[in-house]
Amino acid sequence: MDDETTPPDSKLTRSKRRWASEHKFITGAPARPAEERLPPGQHLVRNWPVLDLGRQPDVSTERWRLRIGGMVAEPVSLDWAAFMALPQTQVRSDIHCVTTWSRYDNDWTGVATRDLLDLVGPAEEATHVMLHGYDGYTTNVPLEDFAAPDALLAHGWDGKPLTRDHGGPVRLVIPHLYFWKSAKWLGGIDFLGGDKPGFWEQNGYHMRGDPWKEERYG
């Protein structure tokens, strides 16, 4: 091979290639072409509707804990200080709700799911996670979707603490799936060796929920 035309295969170039394939460090611009930004059957809203089971638990940051367990090397229970001491990430992303509204350009602050995965070390056999809300809500997500580079556990929106009606103090945000997968008032994450339906999934919603494939109902 000719050194002039072959790029050097250093550790850094390998890392950079991986970052490029993962779209790492992209914080704003959507990766999809503009005409594909709005998934089929969706319409844009400017407001931010509130949807939940009708119970909005009042969880202070003093009382809040995040329990992570199941198929992980290091099960943990994080209090607020431990959670806020993790690396902090900012992501701008769009919301797509299965009830057909979408909302563009939401500025989230929180902990990237990837940084959480580094902390707990999922077992090789783990394939899915079950998210638990303080209101008793559950929803299941494939581990690969949970680990998406723009997925995060958000405690801030638009530069302010996430309000209680939208799931504060901490909610999940997985932008590339319908919003019912983004559990509000997040209190627990269980790593599983297989798929299991959560609340809406038991009631007919899709196990994965990709808006671009219109995976609304199972």
Ligand X SMILES: Nc1nc2c(c(=O)[nH]1)N[C@H]1C(S)=C(S)[C@@H](COP(=O)(O)O)O[C@H]1N2
Number of Cβ within 10 Å of residue 145's Cβ equals 18
Scanning residues 26 to 55, which ones bind ligand X (CB under 6 A)? 48-53
The reply to whether 108 sits near ligand X by the rule CB under 6 A is no
From candidates 155, 176, 184, 206, binder to ligand X by CB under 6 A: 184
d(CA 195, CA 207): 8
Is the Cβ of residue 23 or residue 213 nearer to ligand X in the bound state? 213
Scanning residues 146 to 205, which ones bind Mo ion (CB under 5 A)? 180
What are the start-end ranges of the E strands in the chain?
A: 43-44, 66-70, 76-78, 89-96, 101-112, 128-133, 138-142, 152-157, 160-161, 171-173, 186-192
Question: Among Mo ion, ligand X, none, what does residue 167 contact (CB within 5–8 Å per kind)?
Answer: ligand X
From candidates 135, 145, 150, 201, binder to ligand X by CB under 6 A: 135
Residue given tokens 């007919």 in the structure block: 204
Closest CA to 117 of 138, 96, 148: 148
Scanning residues 35 to 64, which ones bind Mo ion (CB under 5 A)? 51
Binding site for ligand X (CB under 6 A): 48-53, 97, 133, 135, 137, 166-167, 179-180, 182-185
